[in-house]
């Protein structure tokens, strides 16, 4: 049975959020094809992940068998979130671009799940790239929305896109290879013109097609 970890990060409600709409389309299409799929939901805007703190860092640097109750509590969210990542075959991230990057809650989630000793290892024997994920074989779908346009490679705002590359780099440390990342996005939201309407319809169709493709 396939397990999907679904993350949503938009501060808008379901009716207004474009990224949430794409996620709903993708998951509904998938579930119609594979109804036995287990879906784990985390709404990062409703229940934001805690930010890393000095207490978190001290707990993480303490060997697991030597942690006290307070240290175990400091790592409780991280441990639970990592358990979900480990269980997932497919991770679906629905997130708008905020200030040209990923939402702060999504960054905080990555900070909680990318952790030496749980999801990655550190070995200076690897030379200039000592970090390596201990997970592998996972796939990622990123469903996003942009107020402007031209964030794609070669687009007029490609240098302002600090979201896609950041997510792809972080995903590599939770077991997702670059070739296993699939993206669908909506542009022109702030313009509200026919380019926006066309982008919405194209993205909705792409989300459905992607769900069909990946569920085969």
Give backbone dihedrals phi and psi of 135, rounded to 5 degrees, phi first. -105, 160
Where b means 16+ CB within 10 Å and e means fewer, 37-62 reads: beeeebbbbeeebeeeeeebeebbee
* Structure-block tokens of residue 206: 């792409």
CA distance 78 to 211: 29
Please give the annotated binding residues, written as ranges: 10, 17-19
Please give the annotated binding residues for FMN, written as ranges: 10, 17-19
CA distance 149 to 206: 17
Range list of H helices, the chain: 18-33, 54-60, 69-74, 76-87, 104-113, 164-171, 194-214
Q: How many CB atoms lie within 10 A of CB 91?
A: 25
């Amino acid at each position: 049975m396939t397990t999907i970890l679904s993350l949503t990060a938009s501060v808008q409600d379901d009716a207004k959020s474009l990224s949430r709409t794409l996620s709903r389309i993708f998951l509904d299409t998938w579930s119609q094809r594979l109804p036995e799929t287990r879906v784990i939901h985390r709404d990062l805007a409703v229940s934001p992940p805690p930010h890393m703190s000095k207490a978190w860092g001290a707990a993480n640097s303490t060997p697991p068998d030597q942690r006290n109750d307070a240290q175990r509590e400091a790592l409780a969210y991280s441990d639970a979130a990592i358990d979900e990542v480990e269980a997932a075959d497919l991770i679906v991230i629905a997130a708008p671009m905020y200030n040209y990057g990923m939402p702060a809650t999504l960054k905080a989630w990555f900070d909680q799940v990318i952790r030496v000793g749980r999801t990655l290892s550190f070995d200076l024997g690897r030379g200039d790239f000592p970090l390596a994920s201990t997970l592998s074989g996972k796939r990622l779908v990123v469903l996003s929305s942009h107020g402007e346009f031209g964030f794609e490679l070669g687009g007029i705002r490609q240098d302002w896109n600090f979201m896609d590359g950041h997510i792809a780099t972080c995903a590599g440390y939770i077991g997702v290879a670059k070739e296993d990342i699939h993206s669908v996005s909506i542009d022109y939201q702030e313009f509200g013109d026919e380019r926006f309407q066309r982008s919405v319809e194209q993205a909705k169709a792409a989300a459905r097609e992607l769900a069909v493709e990946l569920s085969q």
